[in-house]
Amino acid sequence: MSTTYDQLVGIVKTLHNAPAELFAPEATFAQLDVDSLTLVEISMRIERDLGVTIADNELQEDLTLDATAQLIDSKLAQ
């Protein structure tokens, strides 16, 4: 079974071209060169595929992939 982190990375890779070696739990969206509109696209895809609503101000460019996965998990647990 894929983890939330894996699903998140899958979504980001679909919407954003970045070198594969940059994808790591501690990488921030800024380090992956993800801009603010792509963050909106990512949050809408998370909403559609994982059923979790994330507000625009929750997904910031300085957030790491790991922290984002934890944010999704905490919402899934609610």
Partner 1 sequence: MPSLSPTSPSVLPSAARQGRAAVLCGLAGWVPPRVVTNEELSRRLDTSDAWIRTRTGIGQRHFVEPGQATSDVAVEAGRLALRSAGTDAVDAVVVATTTPDRPCPATAPVVAARLGLDGAAAFDISAVCTGFVYGLASAAGLIAAGVAGRVLLIGADTYSSIVDPDDRTNAIIFGDGAGAVVLRAGGPEEPGAVGHFDLGSDGANEEMIMVAAGGSRQRTSPGEASREERHFSMRGKEVFRHAVTRMTASARNTLALADHKAEDVDHFVPHQANLRILRSVAENLGLPMDHCVSNVESVGNTGAASIPLALADAAARGAIRPGDNVLLTAFGGGLTWGSCFLTWPALAQPGLPHDQGEELAS
Residues at the interface with partner 1 (CB under 8 A): 35-41, 44, 48, 56
Residue 17 CB, nearest approach to partner 1 (Å): 9
Q: How far is the CB of 69 from partner 1 (least distance, A)?
A: 21
Axis-axis angle for helices 65-77, 4-15 (nearest 10):
120
CA distance 33 to 22: 10
Which of 3, 36 has the CB closer to partner 1? 36
Q: Give strand pairing partners of 28.
A: 64
Closest approach, Cβ 25 to partner 1, in A, equals 25
